[in-house]
Chains A and B, each alone.
Chain A
Amino acid sequence: MFTADYIKELDKIKNKYEQSRAALLPILHFVQEKEELITPEAEKNIAEYLGIPVVHIHEVVSFYHLFHQQRIGKCHFSVCQTTACALRGSEEIIAYIEERLKIKPGETTPDGKFSFGLVECLGACEIAPIMQCNKDYVGILDKKKIDELITKNS
């Protein structure tokens, strides 16, 4: 169950909306921010809090790719693979990340420090090729920038 303090925070979000279910995406963001992922337990608690069946929470969690159902690395690379980035070399970037981290897209390193995934357009094609390192946009990617990020977060 959520603690009273936690519920106070959730109420703040919920009260912005005419219908409580509309608060679901911001609430999921809030919960993920605290717990790093959305667990089945959290889905159940949110369902109870909003008064809607847990299946509706789960279908939303699995539909949107920003919600994680498995633990990801402390440092998560979301690498754009769409046209503008591909034209500027994202395939090489992806291959280099695989080589450096020794993992495939969707995997996490055994020490839990890094994970990476392939995403579609991040809306920053002017600095392609790009990726997000957690929430930060890192643009005009090259091997050196990847190396620096890996060293910094190791």
Chain B
Amino acid sequence: MEKIVTRHFDQPNSHLLETYLKDKGYEAARKAITQMTPATVIEEVKKSNLRGLGGAGFPTGTKWSFIPQANPKPKYLVINGDEGEPGTFKDKYIFELDPHALLEGIIITCFAIGSHKAYIYIRGEYAKSLERVQAAVDEASKSGYLGKGIMGTGFDIDVVVHPGAGAYICGEETALLESLEGKKGFPRLKPPFPAVVGLFGCPTVINNVETIACVPPIINKGAEWYAKLGSEKNGGNRLFCVSGHVVKPGVYELPNGTTLREIIYDHAGGIPNGRKLKAVIPGGISAPILTPDQLDVKMDFDSLKSIGSMAGSGGIIVMDDTTDMVWAAMIAARFFAHESCGQCSPCREGSGWVYRNIKKLYHGHAREHDLKNLPGIVNNIGGNTICAFGDAITMSVGSYVSKFRGEFEAKIKKESVCRI
């Protein structure tokens, strides 16, 4: 299988410009700027069926075409590297092992949308990533790949590396813009969408790191080549992050549409200690959990959606048959309660309520009405908040309760002790 995003990962010093230049480095950017127009670049990316790999799966070329070119304000590209979705750790590898692929993708994207400034927002915990990407920006600037009139083409581009400070919600694109503007990460009400009113009130494209790293190979080898690699409406490969109860946790680059079973058993080595799989989260903690009978699902945006889950960020968390699902639901609920930004009441209050309720169940202190109330609380968060975080609580925690109801029921305190 042909590797795309991970193609340089096993080369020594893959993060250095010198290494990157050896394999057609920055040739795609040169080709785009000198031989193509912004419109043809966007058309090519549309044809490739590249979709947003941060989790939403929105067609990338279409997103770029939303930037109003008649708007006289400056345009911005913001790279979302606030990788915080539990179970996801792929962007870190791109930052650390192939930062120039990201920078080249940024140049091409900026050319396509008419932007001359890009911000790379990297979560604050990723100290090594921040260091590596900054070093790559410095190196590329020194050698004329970033800055004024890059590669003698007359195209200007300035790239700023921006550190986050530890808040999951800043991975939500409008919260990320707020954070980048120096505010707390409260998601914005949409519309207006960032393509029209984004960073500093200007038209802005926000893309995931992996998505942008796919752009140079598409320009070099063509949209058809890329589209053929994946499934029908989801071109190319994807970095799947496998963690939890598997023999070989790690990042695996595989074509979109590979089955979940293949990823877990053929690539990640299956479940350790001869145990059986009990449940699996297919796309980061926000994705509804799947059961063993659903392992033959193809891992792409549309197939996962059709069985009521989502491909999300590509984070696969595997649980074996020793896992207490009420405990697992409690951990997920605690995560949401901890990371709710506090802007909307249903999410701020609901996330804590859900967590306390499941915690009570797990510790055996809950009565029947606690479990009876749980779906009602969970379902009243989603759809009632500004951003999709509330929906994630409903989808994720709700799926534990509906798919493993028996385990929840078994935790209900049976005897009624009355102490006077």
Contact = CB atoms under 8 A, between A and B. Distances in A.
Interface string A62-102: 01111100000000001001111011100000000000000
B10 to A, nearest CB: 16
A83 B285 contact: yes
A25 to B, nearest CB: 5
Interface stretch (A1-9, A108-116, A123-131): A123-131
A9 to B, nearest CB: 15
Given A83-B244, A121-B85, A25 B179 contact: yes
A123 B323 CA distance: 22
Contacts of A81: 331, 334
A120 B338 contact: yes
B30 interface: no
Nearest to A62: B184
B167 A65 contact: yes
A21 B181 contact: yes
B162 A25 contact: yes
A26 B86 contact: no
Given A22-B181, A22-B182, A121 B335 contact: yes
B164 to A, nearest CB: 7
Interface extent on B, as a size class? Answer: 35 or more
B243 A63 contact: no
Contact of B250 (A64, A67, A126, A136): A126
Interface string A1-31: 0000000000000001111011111101100
Contacts of B369: none
Contacts of B241: 125-126
B404 to A, nearest CB: 15
A83 B181 contact: no
A60 B160 contact: no
A21 to B, nearest CB: 4
Contact of B185 (A26, A29, A63, A121): A63
B328 interface: yes
B89 A123 contact: yes
Nearest to A86: B331
B184 A125 contact: no
Contacts of A121: 84-88, 168, 285, 335
Contacts of A16: 160
Nearest to B90: A123
A45 interface: no
A52 to B, nearest CB: 8
A126 to B, nearest CB: 4
A65 B126 contact: no
A66 B122 CA distance: 13
B339 interface: yes
A83 B285 CA distance: 8
A25 B164 contact: yes
Interface string A119-151: 111111111100010011100000000000000
Contacts of A17: 160
A66 B165 contact: yes
A83 B331 contact: yes
A83 B88 contact: no
B83 A123 contact: yes
B86 A128 contact: no
Interface in B155-180: 160, 162-168, 179-180
A59 B184 CA distance: 7
B182 A88 contact: no
B243 A64 contact: no
Contacts of B243: 84, 87, 125-126, 128
Contacts of A29: 124, 163, 165
Given A17-B160, A128-B249, A66 B184 contact: no
A136 B245 CA distance: 24
B412 interface: no
Interface in B129-165: 160, 162-165
A59 B86 CA distance: 26
B192 to A, nearest CB: 18
A59 to B, nearest CB: 6
A16 B163 CA distance: 13
Contacts of B86: 82-84, 120-121, 125
B221 interface: no
Given A64-B166, A66-B165, A121-B84, A83 B317 contact: yes
9 contacts: A21-B183, A67-B165, A84-B243, A84-B244, A86-B328, A123-B83, A123-B89, A126-B249, A128-B243
* Shortest beta-carbon contacts, A-B, top 8: A24-B182, A64-B165, A125-B243, A63-B184, A66-B166, A121-B86, A21-B182, A84-B243
Given A66-B125, A84-B317, 20 more contacts: A18-B74, A18-B200, A21-B181, A24-B182, A29-B165, A59-B184, A63-B167, A64-B124, A66-B166, A82-B86, A83-B331, A83-B332, A84-B86, A84-B87, A84-B243, A86-B331, A87-B244, A120-B86, A120-B338, A124-B92
